[in-house]
Amino acid sequence: DADVTQTPRNRITKTGKRIMLECSQTKGHDRMYWYRQDPGLGLRLIYYSFDVKDINKGEISDGYSVSRQAQAKFSLSLESAIPNQTALYFCATSEGIKDSGANVLTFGAGSRLTVL
């Protein structure tokens, strides 16, 4: 099994629908992240969480919300999906060595979302 599992891998939905992307990890990491990737572009940080009670906005949090249900689970929700949220979404985890920029990220395989 993969260390970081994302579900669903592919989803097509309609404008205005509520969508949840789920991420679970078996690495025992404290820190989890959601990124968005648009065609030909790099990754942009949506939200990140340092532990179950610590959730922070990233570069592009508008239109998104997250829930950290447990150390191993971090969900991304689109309350009312719109077409410009069509993108590839990645979840990632890292250790939480305090005050260190050395923490390495492990990414999931991605969830491709299409909003019609």
Partner 1 sequence: DAKTTQPNSMESNEEEPVHLPCNHSTISGTDYIHWYRQLPSQGPEYVIHGLTSNVNNRMASLAIAEDRKSSTLILHRATLRDAAVYYCILRDYTDKLIFGTGTRLQVFP
Contacts of 49 (CB under 8 A, 6+ apart): 31, 32, 33, 55, 56, 66, 68, 74
Q: Near partner 1 by CB under 8 A, which window of 20-28, 66-74, 78-86, 89-97?
A: 89-97
Question: In terms of CB distance, is 45 or 55 closer to partner 1?
Answer: 45
Please tell me whether residue 108 binds partner 1 under the rule CB under 8 A. Answer: yes
Please tell me whether residue 104 binds partner 1 under the rule CB under 8 A. Answer: yes
74 phi-psi bin (left φ>0, alpha ψ -120 to 50, beta other): beta
Please tell me whether residue 47 binds partner 1 under the rule CB under 8 A. Answer: no
Taking the complex as a whole, the smallest distance from the CB of residue 23 to partner 1 amounts, in Å, to 11
